[in-house]
Every structure is written in C-alpha cells, then in structure tokens.
Structure 1
Amino acid sequence: MSAATLPSAISSRYDEVSPKYDQASPQQVAIKLFWLAYEHLTWTAVEKLLPTDGRTLRVLDAGGGGGKYGARFAERGHHVTVLDLSPGMLEQARASFSRAGQLERASFVVGNVLELPFAEKSFDLVFCEGDPVSYCLDEYPRAIRELVRVAVPGAPVVMGVDNRYEAFVGTLKYVKAADALAVLQTGKTKCPYGLPVHAFTLKELQEAVKAAGAEIDEIFGKPVLFFELLEAMKAARGPEFDAWAARDELLALQERMAHEGFAATGQHLQVMARRKA
C-alpha cells in the first residue's frame, strides 16, 4: 500500500468499524486492565495541563476518532475541534459529545494530520492520540510539523505513537518471528486493523519533535511492562490473587513506572511537548 492511497484506506477501514468502535468488552481481565491503564496514563498526564482558573482552551483533537478524549476536554469547559479522516468515526464522536451534553463545545472536521485545514497558531492545546502520526509512515515529520504549526507559541502538543520495541517483541512472539528483524530495523509494522504504521524509536521521535519547533517536556511509555508486572504480582501474591480487585494498586504502579525511565518498554509512546515560544 502506497503512502498516497493510505489515507483512503484508513478512512474506509475506520468507517467500517466505526459503529462498534470503543464498544468492545474484552472478557479477559488482563486485557480490560491493560486498556484501563492505557487510558489512565494518557489522560492523567493531559489533565495536568488544563487550567484551573476557569480559562477556556481551544483544543484540537487530531485523529480524534470516536471522541473518547475530546468529550473529556469539553466536559471541563473547553472548545474541542475533532478532526479525523473517517466521516463514520466523526459521527461516533458527535454521538459521544451529544451523550455528554457537550455538542455546543465541539466542531467536527474531516481532515488529514499531514495537511491540517487550520491557520497557524489556532489552538491552545493540540492532542493527537493513538496512531494518526504512525499512520503517516515515512511522512511522519510532516505530520508532527503540522501539529506544532497550529499550536500557539508555548502551547502543549501531546502525541501518542507506536513504539518500535513493543512492535518488535510482539512480532517476534505472537505474529511471525521471521518478520521481527525487519520491524526492528525499519519500524514498518501493522496496526490491529491490518493497516501499515510506523513504530518509533525514542531517538527518532525526539529528533522529529525538536525539528518541528517544539520543546520536549517528557516522553513516557503507556502501559509499560504491563503483562510482566501482572504476572509478577500474581506470582508474589499466590493463586488467590484477584487482578481486578488490585486495579488501583496496578494503576499506581503503572503511573510510577511510566515516568521512571521505562518508556522504551511501553506499548505506545506519549510525547509531552510545547511549541517553542
């Protein structure tokens, strides 16, 4: 699949899955806990950026999908522009905002992070979670420049991307071991929907963000060593260990580990940066 045809493929695939996106209910406790930790780590870091003095921010939720995070910004009083390639996903986002009673605080735009349809310095906070930047493949530097471009000077720019270490280990153990070396060397892999993505090393991510004109506050992993941690807790506590009952302890451990130098072991990498003033 070429870079030129990928946006259409992404839009079509997400239009296809949009009616049931975010509605899955995994029965395995470990998987439910994994996504609980993922969302906790994502939002906890972002929430700290929000003003507590009543100021209203203009937020861009780029690649915002079904509006899971965008609605949270709106519930805290901010105006959110949700941009996505998929009209179907934007309909789900509109429904999410409607359920939250926040439609008046939202705008919905079909668009591509490689060419954001907004003027420079349009947003007080730019948020791009999940795979939008990774979907840009070798053009990811352009996507990162666009995200920084539309932020006002000094504004936070938050991005989530796929992590190459996790992609390599996952391919080696669970997909096709013969392909793992190429994933490690090139970062070329696939998302759960079968679409090509670029998985980042910490160094290339740092370099791309700095080249785009942003200063990095932190890059952390989410979640980090999650299933290994769960296994270790079970081994230490014995066969009666109830992982779901221990979820608060697990989240606290993840919160600590995510910011203690374990970024390279994260399933995703989250960039906390700011456009240079």
Structure 2
Amino acid sequence: MDSNELIRETYDQVAPSYDQDEADQVLRRRLYWFVYESLTWNAVAAVLPEGRSLRILDAGGGSGKYGALFAERGHHVTVLDLSPGMLEQAKARFAQRGLLPRAAFEVGTIVSLPFADGAFDLVFCEGDPVSYCTSQYREAIAELCRVAAPGAYVVLGVDNRQSYFLGALESGKKAEAMDILLTGRATCPYGLPVHAFTLRELEDAVDAAGAEVVEIFGKPILFREMLEALGAARGSGFDPWEARQEFLALQERIAHEGYTTAGGHLQVMARRR
C-alpha cells in the first residue's frame, strides 16, 4: 500500500466521527483546539478582502471545517482531499449550512493538483497534508503555489520538528527523538508517517516554489506551560474554559513575537510572486 492509499484509508475510517466528539473531550483538549483553530483562522481572516468574492482552494480540506468558514463569508471554495469519506463529511457540513452553491469537491493529492496555473485567489492547506508528503513536500508546496494567482496568499499548516523532538524525549524515546531532530521523520497521532519541518526548510521550499514568506508563526505556543502559569497567576477557582478568550489573547500575542518554534504546529503565510 503506497502512502496515498494509507492516508486515504485512515481518513475514510475516521471520517464519520472526525468532528463529532469535541463536546466530550476533556477540558484541556477542547481548549487546545479552540486556541489552535482560532489562531489558524484569525490570521487568514485578516487578509481576506472586504466586498470581493475569492476563488479559494481548501487543499486537504477534510471535513470542510475551514472551507465552510470561507463559504459563509461569500467566497467560492473548492475542497480537495484524498479521502472520499472526509469529502462526504464536508458535503454534509456545507449542505447543513446551505453552502453547497458556493462549493466544489475534488478527490485528489496536493502533489499533483488537477487545476490550472493561477486558478485560485487564495490557497489554504491546513493540518498535515504537506507533512504527509514526507519526501515530496517540496513538490507539494510547489503545486500549491502554482495554482495560486500572482500576489495571492498561500497558507500552509505543517508539523514543527522541535515539537516532535521534545515530545519524543518526554516519552522516553530518546533514540527516536534524535532521528526526528536530524531527519524530520516522525509519526502523527494516527500512526501515519509525516515530515516535521524546520523554519529554514519551509523558507527554502516556499522560495523555490515562487512565493515569498510573509510570516511563519507557531500554534499554539507552549500550550501546557502557559496554561499552568496562567492558572497559578489567577489562583484557586481558575476555570481554563471560562478564561479561554484571555488565554487566546495571550497566545495571539506571543505567537507573533518570536516564539515560533515553541509552537505545536507552524503556519506559513506566503504570497505567490
């Protein structure tokens, strides 16, 4: 089974329950994803123009969580994913919100996109799609930049090598941690191989693809450590969920103040030349 088939099979299996257990997650996990998704979306929303409908590619868009946000704002979204099961979840999400007229759905891989050069006014690829490309991540980034119009934003979410390295060390997997540090080869929570990036790798790959990095930031930043520090500062009775907006504001601040590699993931904001 090649890597695309493995990814497709994994996500087809998890698709029916992919976004349905959030209310039952423990508080810290709920808070983590609230912060992660807010940091992701806020950076993108800040560059969306007012009063103009964009052609947007949500590449590796899965269940359409972010794609639906674009469509709700009046943009036309093409959701592309390897997993037909995930795309069925995306279609159901769009249909429930009355957004199907603003959407198209494609089964495909980001290494070989079935679209013309410059076909989209914004390209969004969040989560692990680029990291799943492992040895082909440069080709994937080149394709994502190719289908962006000149001057258009290309937004990429990828795995952070430092985070994977420290996570392996904390789990007692010291030899594995060393391999991650030197090669970037790692395994995601679903057991799939991923490439975890350094900042230099990202900058070089984006530059080679014909785009200019505007910013790379981490998300979330030192999540566990910051939450513990905030709890200690606020004292007894501290409720992390009730304080989520305050915590998010702190995360927004430090995410853009040089703490990039302390993030669990990295978000690239680039523009095609």
For the criterion TM > 0.5, the same-fold answer is yes
Deviations 1:210-229 (A, max 9, x none): 11000111000010111100
Would you say how many aligned residue pairs link Structure 1 and Structure 2? 272
Give a deviation string over 1:34-89, Cα, whole Å, max 9, x none: 1000000000000011111x211000000000000000000000000000000000
Q: TM-score, normalised by structure 2?
A: 0.98
Asked if 1:227 corresponds to 2:236, the answer is: no
2:86 corresponds in structure 1 to 89
2:29 is the counterpart of 1:31: yes
Cα distance in 2 for partners of 1:256, 1:6 equals 37
Distance in 2 separating the partners of 1:235 and 1:50:
38
Do residues 168 (structure 1) and 165 (structure 2) align?
yes
Partner of 2:114: 117
Aligned-pair identity in percent equals 64
Whole-angstrom distance in 1 between the partners of 2:45 and 2:265: 18
Q: Distance in 2 between matches of 1:34 and 1:107?
A: 30
Say whether 1:182 aligns with 2:174: no
Please report the TM-score for the alignment, with normalisation by the length of structure 1.
Answer: 0.96
- Return 5+ residue gaps in structure 1 as ranges: none
Alignment of 1:55-74 (within 5 A): 55-74=52-71
* In 2: Cα distance, 1:61 partner to 1:97 partner: 13
Aligned partner of 1:42 in structure 2 is 40
Counterpart of 1:153 in 2: which secondary structure?
strand
What is the CA–CA distance in structure 2 between the aligned matches of 1:168 and 1:242, rounded to whole Å?
30
In structure 2, list runs of 5 or more residues that go unmatched. none
The separation in 1 between residues aligned to 2:6 and 2:186, in whole angstroms, is 16
Q: Aligned equivalents of 2:145 and 2:69: distance in 1? A: 22
Q: Residues 175 and 116 from structure 1, CA distance in 2 versus in 1: closer, same or farther, beyond 3 angstroms? A: farther
Q: Cα offset for 1:12?
A: 0.5
Q: Displacement of 1:24 after TM fit?
A: 1.9
Please tell me the residue identity of whatever aligns with 2:179: A
Q: Where do 1:1-277 residues align within 5 Å?
A: 5-25=2-22, 26-52=24-50, 54-174=51-171, 176-276=173-273
Structure 1 vs Structure 2 CA RMSD: 1.0
- CA drift of 1:237 comes to 2.1
The one-character-per-residue Cα deviations of 1:98-148 (angstroms, maximum 9, x if unpaired) are 111100000000000000000101000000000000000011000000000
Query: Which letter does structure 2 place at the counterpart of 1:51?
Result: P
1:226-248 per-residue CA deviation (whole Å, 9 max, x = no partner) reads 11000111122223211111111
Q: 3-state DSSP class of the match of 1:148?
A: helix
Moved over 4 A (4+): none
> Matches of 2:175 and 2:216 in 1, distance apart?
30
Structure 1, residues 166-192: CA drift from partner, whole Å, max 9, x if none?
A: 000111113623311111111100111
CA distance in 2, matches of 1:17, 1:113: 20
* Alignment partners' CA distance in 2, 1:272 and 1:48: 11
